[in-house]
Amino acid sequence: MSLLEIKGLTRRFGGLIAVNDFNIELGEREMVALIGPNGAGKTTVFNLISGFYQPSEGGITINGRDTKGMRPHQVTSLGVARTFQGIRLWGEMTVLDNIRVSQHYRAGYSLLDCFLRTKKYMGREAEIERVAWELLEAMDLKEYALELPRNLSYGLQRRVEIARAMSLKPSLLLLDEPAAGLNSSDVEGLIKLVRWIHDTFPVTIWMIEHQMKVVMSLCTRIKVVDFGATIADGSPEEIQNNHAVIKAYLGDDTI
Amino acid sequence: MQKHTFTISLFAGIFVLTALAQFGVINQYLQSVIMLMGVNIILSTSLNLVNGYMGEFSCGHGGFMCVGAYVSSVVTVLLFSKNHILGAPLLPPSLALFAFPLALFAGAAVAAVAGLVVAIPSFKTRGDYLAIITLAANYIVISAIDNMEIIGGPRGFMGMNATVHGMEGLLDIPWMLLWVLFGTVFTVWLLRRFVTSTLGKGVPAIAQDEIAAEIMSVDTNRMKLIAFMLSSGLAGLAGGLFAHILGYVNPHSFDIMKSTEVMVMVYLGGMGSLSGATLSAVLFTVLLEVLRPLEIWKWVVIPLLLILLMQFRPEGIMGNKELSDLFPKLKKYYSFK
């Protein structure tokens, strides 16, 4: 059984077809890229997977569960985590708290447990705190644990956002333009980080990315979309020589 | 031992205050100011959960206070006073002490359910639009009670003193003062436990980025439900206490003016700070009493102070910090879980 299965996914906004008959199947521990020109519908695909939009047609299955009608937090608890194009950390909460709150679904205690500080509450909170510190340690963020994210550099914020997504212990991690706005040394760091995550955790990573350096050095499979439709799907070498892709990015050379 | 300093001094404080009131060292007037302070602390800390922590703009807190006041009053009057609804009291006055907390709880519970009027629309509505809904909720409550002749309508409702006398008949100490102090400590304790838990931190996560919260597995609808119902329930508790302090309630004591007063306390203290909301409730109550000689002019002076505050310290007295963030040494004196 594949981890993620998307069949005939279509989403229309009024007369505009943002995503048209999109299909993909992802297995465990893959590393895949979704590329395409601006406005090609890449982020819409991610928003459909995470439950922000409901598909107009077609369906999404995660770990064998159809996500139809699910709200985003329910999809997340199936093991899907994501980051955003612009960083969306909780700016007024410490880095540590950011990584604690993201484990909300794992809290699992009732309001009464919370008021009475029951054994269950104490156990769950200790577990959440332990996971948070472990992750901060592993991702070299420990020294920033008590800082507010808005006081950190852009590169560090990106790292915190990825750490926050990883605290959900996802089996599928969606990265929406992780290298956007990073300078070249930060990009090197990001490539290393994503590779390390992929080697360390049992997770499939699917990214939207414009920087070819990131895509080519990380992904084993690339899917290209344009105007909502898939135009190519294959290994990095195949994509580099694909005529339709070159046409979509650079235009047609025939007059 | 040092870790318990705060808790011990808190209960010692309650004991001393009650003793001083008992032996007439602090007079009736001062007692009523202290009780009002307690009620205001409950109101401002509970509204802070919605307006401060969750970043919504609820301006109908008075309505929920009204629900709690009327429900608990009706319960105690039916049980312990001669009334025109059931005639003779249902229970002997000696049971008042045990029934009173239950009546308060009933008021708070019904007020929490009334909070649904705001909580359910909040799933889809935010900001200004939700503020209008809270305003509407306030009006609905006041107008509904205005039109209920059986509980006095616009003339108000009374008879709660019998319950207080019932308690005093059992043991002659200033019961209402004690109840208010316990209610205040209970409220702050409850709210503090909530906002420091991972569960409760989902509330500021909604304020700071609702989309990120939902994506990061926070069930935002559930959190809104909890925040609004907890907030309105505690306002109901404040209402119940307030009604039994005065022994008389009138729907118009809980109109938009009351809601505004509570909002002023929240913004004065600082958004998302429990110690700020507590401090500002104390300050505000004192200010109202100090400016009493100005009579109606105090409603010119206080808003003016508010304008100055917004100009020069828009984040309120405490910002969104707690007292222990500003004075870390205080942490030595308590160990809250």
> Residue A42 is part of which domain span?
4-88+164-250
User: Closest chain A residue to B196 measured between Cα atoms?
Assistant: A114
A114–B337: do the CB atoms touch at under 8 Å?
A: no
User: Closest chain B residue to A174 measured between Cα atoms?
Assistant: B215
Residue A204, beta-bridge partner list? A172
Q: How far apart are CA B118 and CA B113, in angstroms?
A: 10
Residue of B325, B104, B153, B181 whose CA lies nearest to B251: B153
For residue B296, pLDDT beyond 90: no
Q: Measured between alpha carbons, how far is residue B183 from residues A99, B42, B177 in Å?
A: 34, 8, 10
Q: With respect to residue A130, please indicate whether it lies within any of the assigned structural domains.
A: no
Residue of A64, A79, A29, A83 whose CA lies nearest to A204: A29
Q: How far apart are CA B303 and CA B305, in angstroms?
A: 5
Chain A nearest-CA distance from B300, in A, is: 35
pLDDT tens digits along B127-173: 999 999 999 999 999 999 999 999 999 999 999 999 999 999 999 99
Among B54, B186, B199, B273, most A C-beta atoms within 10 A, so best to mutate, is B199
Over residues B265-279, the mean pLDDT reads 92
Residues of A in contact with B337 (CB under 8 A): 117, 122
**Would you write out chain A's pLDDT as a tens digit for each of its 255 residues?**
689 999 999 999 998 999 999 999 999 999 999 999 888 899 999 999 999 999 999 999 999 999 999 999 999 999 999 999 889 999 999 999 999 999 999 899 999 999 999 999 999 999 999 999 999 999 999 999 999 999 999 999 999 999 999 999 999 999 999 999 899 999 999 999 999 999 999 999 999 999 999 999 999 999 999 988 899 999 999 998 888 888 888 777 665
Q: With respect to residue A120, please indicate whether it lies within any of the assigned structural domains.
A: no
For residue A14, the domain's CATH number is: 3.40.50.300
Q: How far apart are CA A50 and CA A174, in angstroms?
A: 9
Gap between the terminal Cα atoms of chain A: 47
Angle at B310 between CA B304 and CA B311, to 5 degrees: 90
Backbone CA torsion sign across B247, B249, B254, B257 = negative
The count of other CB atoms within 10 Å of the CB of residue B24 is 8
B212–A121: do the CB atoms touch at under 8 Å?
A: no
Looking at residue B292, what is its pLDDT?
A: 87
Angle at A85 between CA A84 and CA A91, to 5 degrees: 60
For residue B1, pLDDT beyond 80: no
For residue B91, pLDDT beyond 70: yes
Q: With respect to residue A61, please indicate whether it lies within any of the assigned structural domains.
A: yes
| C-alpha radius of gyration, chain B, whole number | 20
A101–B194: do the CB atoms touch at under 8 Å?
A: no
Q: With respect to residue A132, please indicate whether it lies within any of the assigned structural domains.
A: no
Q: How far apart are CA A189 and CA B316, in angstroms?
A: 41
SS3 B206: helix
Over residues B18-42, the mean pLDDT reads 94
For residue B297, pLDDT beyond 90: no
Instruction: Judge contact between B166 and B263, C-beta under 8 A.
Output: no
Q: With respect to residue A22, please indicate whether it lies within any of the assigned structural domains.
A: yes
**Is B213 part of the contact surface with chain A (CB cutoff 8 Å)?**
yes
For residue B280, pLDDT beyond 80: yes
Chain A nearest-CA distance from B213, in A, is: 8
Looking at residue A253, what is its pLDDT?
A: 64
- The length of chain A in residues reads 255
Tell me which residue has tokens 């925040």.
B227
Interface of B with A in 251-310 (CB under 8 A): none
Residues on chain A bordering chain B, Cβ-to-Cβ distance under 8 angstroms: 50, 52, 71-73, 76-77, 81-82, 84, 88-93, 97, 100-107, 109, 111, 114-115, 117, 121-122, 124-125, 128, 164-165, 168
Q: How far apart are CA B69 and CA B255, in angstroms?
A: 13
Residue B145 DSSP code: H
User: Closest chain B residue to A49 measured between Cα atoms?
Assistant: B215
User: Closest chain A residue to B227 measured between Cα atoms?
Assistant: A111
Q: With respect to residue A134, please indicate whether it lies within any of the assigned structural domains.
A: no
B201–A97: do the CB atoms touch at under 8 Å?
A: yes
For residue B313, pLDDT beyond 60: yes
**Is B326 part of the contact surface with chain A (CB cutoff 8 Å)?**
no
User: Closest chain A residue to B187 measured between Cα atoms?
Assistant: A115
Asked if this assembly's ipTM is beyond 0.90, the reply is yes
For residue B336, pLDDT beyond 80: no
The total of structural domains in chain A comes to: 1
Q: How far apart are CA B201 and CA B204, in angstroms?
A: 6
For residue B4, pLDDT beyond 60: yes
Quick one: B245 exposed, middle or buried, by C-beta within 10 A (0-12, 13-18, 19+)? buried
Over residues B267-272, the mean pLDDT reads 89
Q: How far apart are CA B162 and CA B266, in angstroms?
A: 34
Residue of B243, B100, B75 whose CA lies nearest to B169: B100
pLDDT category of residue B301 using cuts at 50, 70 and 90: confident
Over residues B248-277, the mean pLDDT reads 92
Looking at residue B56, what is its pLDDT?
A: 94
Looking at residue A164, what is its pLDDT?
A: 96
A125–B197: do the CB atoms touch at under 8 Å?
A: yes
Q: With respect to residue A126, please indicate whether it lies within any of the assigned structural domains.
A: no
Among A96, A101, A105, most B C-beta atoms within 10 A, so best to mutate, is A101
Instruction: Judge contact between A42 and A208, C-beta under 8 A.
Output: yes
Over residues B40-66, the mean pLDDT reads 96
Q: Measured between alpha carbons, how far is residue A179 from residues A39, A155, B55, B330 in Å?
A: 18, 9, 31, 44
**Which DSSP string corresponds to B256-305?**
HHHHHHHHHHHHHH-TT-HHHHHHHHHHHHHHHHHTGGGGGGHHHHHHHH
Residue A232, beta-bridge partner list? A224
Instruction: Judge contact between B238 and B37, C-beta under 8 A.
Output: no
Residue B91 DSSP code: S
Instruction: Judge contact between B246 and B125, C-beta under 8 A.
Output: no
Phi first, then psi, for residue A152 (nearest 5°) are -95, 160
For residue B337, pLDDT beyond 80: no
Residues of B in contact with A101 (CB under 8 A): 198, 201-202, 205, 213, 216, 218
Tell me which residue has tokens 């919260």.
B213
Looking at residue B2, what is its pLDDT?
A: 79
Looking at residue A168, what is its pLDDT?
A: 95
**Chain A to chain B Cβ contacts (< 8 Å):** 92
Q: How far apart are CA B314 and CA B306, in angstroms?
A: 10
Q: How far apart are CA A217 and CA B157, in angstroms?
A: 76
Tell me which residue has tokens 């509570």.
B262
User: Closest chain A residue to B219 measured between Cα atoms?
Assistant: A73
Instruction: Judge contact between B310 and A82, C-beta under 8 A.
Output: no
pLDDT tens digits along B224-254: 999 999 999 999 999 999 999 999 999 999 9
Phi first, then psi, for residue B320 (nearest 5°) are -105, 30
Q: With respect to residue A139, please indicate whether it lies within any of the assigned structural domains.
A: no
Residues of B in contact with A97 (CB under 8 A): 201
Residues of B in contact with A73 (CB under 8 A): 214-215, 217-220
Looking at residue A255, what is its pLDDT?
A: 56
